[in-house]
Amino acid sequence: MRSRYCAFSRGNAAYLYKSWAAETRPLTLTLDTAQAWTGLTIDRHEVTGPDTALVRFIATWRKGSQTGRLTETSRFRRQGAGWVYIDGVSE
């Protein structure tokens, strides 16, 4: 999760694409370069199976004079030596 947040904050679409489960990732990924990610709090982490987990996080952002936050519970699956993002539900 933290590595995907870093990729979002640095505009690394290639890493985001690679760390997204093939069955749920979009065909293309376009990032908003005007939006700056300014903070991440991992609120909850729950192992849901031998190779699956949930992560609830709060990410803060700034775009011009606007600020906001994204709260999401994301599903991840172990794949090889790492984890891939499956999907998430925003609050």
- Phi, psi (deg, nearest 5) at residue 4: -70, -40
Rounded to 5 degrees, what angle do the CA atoms 7, 82, 88 make?
Answer: 60
Name residue 31's amino acid.
L
Q: What is the pLDDT of residue 25?
A: 96
**pLDDT score of 80:** 92
2-90 CATH, one of 3.30.230.10, 1.10.10.10, 3.10.450.50, 3.30.465.10: 3.10.450.50
Q: How far is 83 from 5, CA to CA, in rounded Å?
A: 14
Going by C-beta distance under 8 Å and a sequence separation of 6 or more, which residues neighbour residue 39? 59, 60
Q: Does residue 1 carry a pLDDT above 90?
A: no
- Render pLDDT for 15-64 as a digit per residue (tens, 0 to 9): 999 999 999 999 999 999 999 999 999 999 999 999 999 999 999 999 99
